[in-house]
């Protein structure tokens, strides 16, 4: 009988975390974690990982951004020319750990972090760019809605997050 490893809650990516074995099944997401995440962390993104021991089994990255009012669709009421947003930039779970609720838990963690960030910087929404129809379904089950006109960007208002917490 194998030893069951504890899955730790999300924490910031550090040098001692092992990335080599990570494989979510999407080359671009694997490559970003293994080759770019350490450089991006604390600079262009905040990278959070879920681990067993030192092995990373899931990750997400957040950043601040903006959406131009002309493409903001449902976000554009009484808004400035560029609407400040919290971006859930990346999220991936190792194939071996998919289907265990880790992805949903990471989104919940990211949304709590967005709420904390909103106390320090003005913003009204969280956005995510979906790459596939499966991702659109995943995020819609968590309360995200499509942001027209591009059909790939989804959002959830901070007020909706506040009411859910």
Residue 127 inside a domain? The answer is yes
pLDDT above 70: residue 115 = yes
- pTM surpassing 0.75? yes
Q: How confident is the model at residue 1 (pLDDT cuts 50, 70, 90)?
A: very low
Residue 33 inside a domain? The answer is yes
The boundaries of the domain holding residue 115 are 11-164
CB 164 within 8 A of CB 156: no
**Who wins on pLDDT, 32 or 1?**
32
Q: How confident is the model at residue 71 (pLDDT cuts 50, 70, 90)?
A: low
Residue 81 inside a domain? The answer is yes
Residue 5 inside a domain? The answer is no
Q: How many domains does the chain have?
A: 1
Residue 4 inside a domain? The answer is no
Residue 112 inside a domain? The answer is yes
CATH code for the domain of 113: 3.40.630.30
CA-based max dimension of the chain: 60
Residue 6 inside a domain? The answer is no
What pLDDT is stored for residue 45 in this prediction? Answer: 96
What pLDDT is stored for residue 147 in this prediction? Answer: 84
Residue 2 inside a domain? The answer is no
CB 25 within 8 A of CB 96: no
pLDDT above 60: residue 116 = yes
């Amino acid at each position: 009988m194998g030893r069951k490893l504890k899955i730790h809650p999300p924490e910031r990516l550090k040098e001692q975390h092992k990335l080599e074995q990570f494989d979510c099944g999407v080359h671009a997401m694997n490559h970003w974690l293994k080759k770019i995440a350490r450089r991006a962390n604390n600079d262009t993104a905040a990278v959070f990982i879920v681990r067993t021991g030192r092995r990373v089994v899931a990750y997400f990255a957040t950043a601040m951004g903006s959406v131009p009012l002309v493409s903001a669709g449902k976000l554009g009421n009484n808004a400035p020319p560029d609407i400040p947003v919290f971006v859930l930039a990346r999220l991936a779970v190792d194939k071996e750990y998919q289907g265990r609720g880790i992805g949903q838990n990471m989104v919940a963690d990211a949304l709590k972090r967005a709420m904390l960030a909103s106390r320090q910087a003005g913003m009204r929404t969280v956005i995510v760019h979906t790459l596939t129809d499966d991702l659109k379904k995943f995020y819609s089950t968590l309360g995200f809605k499509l942001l027209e006109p591009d059909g790939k960007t989804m959002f959830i208002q901070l007020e909706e997050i506040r009411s859910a917490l």
